[in-house]
Amino acid sequence: MCSPKIIAGPCAIESAELLDSVARTLVSINERLGVDAIFKASFDKANRTSLDSFRGVGMEAGLCMLADIKSRYGLRILTDIHEAWQAAEVAEVADVIQIPAFLCRQTDLIVAASRTGRIVNIKKAQFLSGRDMYYPYRKAIDSGACEVWLTERGNMYGYNNLVVDFRNISDMRTFADTVIMDCTHSVQRPGAVGGSSGGDAALAPAMAHAAKAFGACGYFFETHPCPKEAMCDGDNMLPLGELEGVIKGLIKE
């Protein structure tokens, strides 16, 4: 059984102050609980529902902020890419390069990420089964990825809703050593709030515990000091003050 991995941070980079606040909390959690939480934040949310939606601060500024967090706090960094040309530059900062769910079949994107020498985390598309993820996984392995993680984040269920079939976790574990549960995106209601996505963050801890029963190796939590003020995915994110209790419950049970 692989050791649990904790991936946590805000949905999008809003400011250096936000990153500092979350990073300090993660360092404190690492020290008190003996975990190795990985800091997650996106410099660009390229798949927002509306053209008017906040996307982030951009790659140049975002990578500078993430590099600063890595240098000052000693946290490993995970961030996502949307185009193949971004991979090499992102790899200079990120320890884990993430392939977004909607893009998990994009061969050039996976190949570029895999050739960087960084860990590649591929999120399962909302339209694929766990067994289908064998093929993106093989693309990464065959392209030279040093390590590949897969992340479950639910499947579309009609309009504006997701459902999690936890059998996908055990199915992916048949060929991938590390399968992560995205506990916050899995409670999302895509496009359900007039041009943006809604969700129910209160369900995220239960998603984590259910995933653990099915063999998940790690847990992905987007978090924010005040989710109601977040510029992206606020309805899905855990309040930062609740994060430690949720993680403690997972690793101590």
Predicted confidence at residue 51, as pLDDT, reads: 87
Predicted confidence at residue 1, as pLDDT, reads: 47
Which of these CATH numbers, 3.20.20.60, 3.40.50.720, 3.20.20.70, 3.90.1010.10, describes 5-252?
3.20.20.70
The SS3 call for residue 150 is strand
Mean pLDDT value across residues 174-189: 95
Q: 184: which 2 tokens?
A: 């916050």
Over residues 24-48, the pLDDT tens digits come to: 999 999 999 999 999 999 999 988 7
* φ/ψ (deg, to 5) at 106: -80, 100
Residue, of 4 and 199, whose pLDDT is higher: 4
* Domain spans of the chain, in order of start: 5-252
Mean pLDDT value across residues 122-136: 97
Residue, of 198 and 139, whose pLDDT is higher: 139
Res. 204 pLDDT band, cuts 50 70 90: very high
**Roughly what angle, to the nearest 10 degrees, separates helices 59-73 and 16-33?**
30
Q: Is residue 18 predicted with pLDDT exceeding 90? A: yes
Predicted confidence at residue 50, as pLDDT, reads: 83
Res. 194 pLDDT band, cuts 50 70 90: low
Over residues 48-94, the pLDDT tens digits come to: 778 888 999 999 999 999 999 999 999 999 999 999 999 999 999 99
Classify burial at 236, counting beta carbons within 10 Å of its beta carbon; exposed 0-12, middle 13-18, buried 19 or more.
buried
Over residues 90-115, the pLDDT tens digits come to: 999 999 999 999 999 999 999 999 99
How much of the chain exceeds pLDDT 90, in percent? Answer: 83
